[in-house]
Structure 1
């Protein structure tokens, strides 16, 4: 499994009353992130001008320690054939739900539009985590993160942000698994939910947005 360049951190928020309505996440370290799209825009980090891979290599090329760090960051990029491309290309190849004692649930990504009907079903009170498979090309993507907001009957019940990291382009995809979560349980927790997931970078460029529904039921559906 490939590792990200930056340390990862996650934030998980829940709304509503009663433990049965909450998604509970085991966090290694908490970080404060905004929870709405407009707050994301307001808190957007002001970055310097983008550089192609060749420009990254030319900068401070006389600094031996910095040159070695850049080579480590860029990994096995073919510098001689690298293009003068400023924008990274990021493709989310797969999303997989992992739960102890269950087979992996690989979610089909729609080629266009959003999934129709319930995208997946989870058992109440069950631990689970998500694993992403991500392909990066053309240039370095900085501060890639995952956001997910969940509503039930029009009320927001959960908001999650996971910092995935900074990646250099390479032929092989990266994988990243977010911290374990637990589905809510009880009569009022069961039913249908709507959600929105996004993958964005430091510039708030969105590489994938999915609007979907899912169910929480008393038991798994085989």
Structure 2
């Protein structure tokens, strides 16, 4: 990532729609991109002031049921259970979320993996920019491979953050997984 990168200035949906409104094709294009947000603010949960509501993280392994973390409840309980994955298996992570109120720019998923007290991996995935929608939106990471071998078997602690270009942390949570010889 470019350390000199500066995110674009924040604009409201109204400002985006007002710009170039005399261009009919551009207006239709913006409305298509913004979906329901073009007709006004989309507010899914009026009691939640956040722009991004992260609902779920799923660990997806081909041929197996998705292993899911519910991110809407008590996040401290997530550290009590762990996913068990077979060494060397290929997997993806899917994050389900809702964007409400305003457009969110430059969403990122950052995951720091530690074993005991040593950080063994940090990855950042650029998720993108999203307009508000009443429906759940998802991001799936590229295919990753769990390490294999005796040295890599064991428990790992993960700290995950869903953040954006404006340095708003929409959700931060901790969870665990175990790499084992077999399922």
Structure 1 length as normaliser, TM-score? 0.71
Match of 1:82 among 41, 52, 70: 41
- Cα pair distance change 1:61/1:78, threshold 3 Å: closer
Runs of 4+ in 1 over 4 A off after TM superposition: none
Q: Equivalent residue for 1:191?
A: 154
Q: Equivalent residue for 1:67?
A: 27
How far is 1:199 from its partner? 0.6
Q: Equivalent residue for 1:57?
A: 17
How far is 1:118 from its partner? 3.7
Could you tell me how far apart the structure 2 residues matched to 1:71 and 1:213 are?
41
Match of 1:131 among 94, 104, 111: 94
Q: CA RMSD in A?
A: 2.3
Q: List runs of 5+ in structure 2 lacking aligned partners.
A: 43-48
- Cα pair distance change 1:121/1:89, threshold 3 Å: same
Aligned length: 176
Q: List runs of 5+ in structure 1 lacking aligned partners.
A: 1-32, 35-41
Q: Deviations over 1:142-197 (max 9, x none)?
A: 11110101111222211111111111111111122111111111111011112211
Could you tell me how far apart the structure 1 residues matched to 2:112 and 2:17 are?
39
How far is 1:110 from its partner? 5.8
- Cα pair distance change 1:110/1:64, threshold 3 Å: closer
Could you tell me how far apart the structure 2 residues matched to 1:125 and 1:52 are?
45
- Which structure has more relative contact order (CA 8 Å, sep 6+)? It is 1
